[in-house]
Amino acid sequence: MKLTWYGHSAFRIEVAGATILIDPFLSGNPSWGKSWESAAEGVTHVLLTHGHDDHIGDAAAILNHTGAMLVANFEICMYLVGKGVSDKVINPGNIGGTVDCGGFTTTFVAAQHSSSAGGPGGTNVYLGNPGGLVLHFAGERTLYHMGDTDIFSDMALINELHQPAIGLVPVGDRFTMGGAVAALACRRFFKFETVVPCHFGTFPIIDQTAQQFVDGMDGSGVDVVQPKIGMAIDI
C-alpha cells in the first residue's frame, strides 16, 4: 500500500486496482499550497468522512474531472449531485453500513463531531452524521480513517469488528481530540501496527505539531509515521 498525506486529513491511498482520495481538501489547504490536479491523477475513488468544507474540499471538481466513484453518506452524495456531480458515480452509505467499492469495501462507522456546509446568508446545510471509514482490501492491511472525532468507548467495538492495522488519527485539538487523548484512544481501544497523525498544523488555532501524540504513543510498540506532505510512502 502506498500512502500520500497532503496535510490536514487529506490522504491518497494506492493499492492494486484502486487509487483513493480521502477528504480531498487540497486547493484551499495551506499545508498543501497547490491545486488538486496532481493529487487527483489516476484517482478511481473519492471517500468523504463528513461535510465540512475542510474535508469535502475539491471533491466535486475531482469527481467531474476523473469520473471517480464517490463514497460518502447519502446527504453528502445528494449535496454534491446538486453541485453538478453525476448521480451515476455515487455509492452512498451510512453508519453501520458497508459498501462494495470494487476491489475493496468501505464501512461507515461512528465519529463524535458534526457535519454541515456553508449555505447562503451564513446558514448551514445539514449533511448527515459525521463518520469514520474502515477500508478492507484483498491482500492488504485494513485501514481506518477516523475522520474528525473525540475518543469514545465504542471504538472498542470498531476494533473488535474490523481489527484495523493502520490508523489515520486526528490529533490537532479544538475541533477533534488532542494528541494525548488520541494516543489514549489508540492504546486503549486498538491494536494498530501503524498510525499516522493528521488534522494538525493546518490553521493557527489547532495544534501545530503532533508531538503530544508522538509522546503519548512512546513505548506502545506501534509504528508512528509522520510522512512529509505530498511525499508517497510505502506503508
* pLDDT tens profile 95-142: 999 999 999 999 999 999 999 998 778 889 999 999 999 999 999 999
Q: Strand 45-47 to strand 18-22: parallel, antiparallel, or no bridges (unpaired)? A: parallel
Annotate 87-121 with b (16+ C-beta within 10 A) or e (fewer).
eebbbbbeeeeebebeebbbbbbbbbbebbbeeee
CATH number, domain of 117, equals 3.60.15.10
The arithmetic mean of pLDDT across residues 49-65, rounded, is 98
The arithmetic mean of pLDDT across residues 47-73, rounded, is 98
The arithmetic mean of pLDDT across residues 208-214, rounded, is 98
The pLDDT of residue 87 is above 90: yes
Measured CA to CA, the distance from residue 36 to residue 59 in angstroms comes to 9
Please give the residue range of the domain that contains residue 177.
2-234
Q: Identify the pLDDT of residue 156.
A: 98
The alpha-carbon radius of gyration of the chain (Å, integer) is: 16
Count of domains forming the chain:
1
Rounded (10°) CA dihedral 196, 22, 19, 33? -80
* pLDDT tens profile 224-234: 999 999 999 99
Q: How many CB atoms lie within 10 A of CB 233?
A: 13
* pLDDT tens profile 150-191: 999 999 999 999 999 999 999 999 999 999 999 999 999 999
Q: Identify the pLDDT of residue 118.
A: 86
Q: Identify the pLDDT of residue 161.
A: 98
The pLDDT of residue 21 is above 90: yes
- Return the closest-CA partner of residue 95 out of 59, 132, 147, 126: 132
Measured CA to CA, the distance from residue 19 to residue 21 in angstroms comes to 7
Q: How many CB atoms lie within 10 A of CB 1?
A: 17
- Classify residue 43 as left (phi > 0), alpha (psi -120 to 50) or beta: beta
Count CA within 13 A, CB hemisphere, residue 133: 28
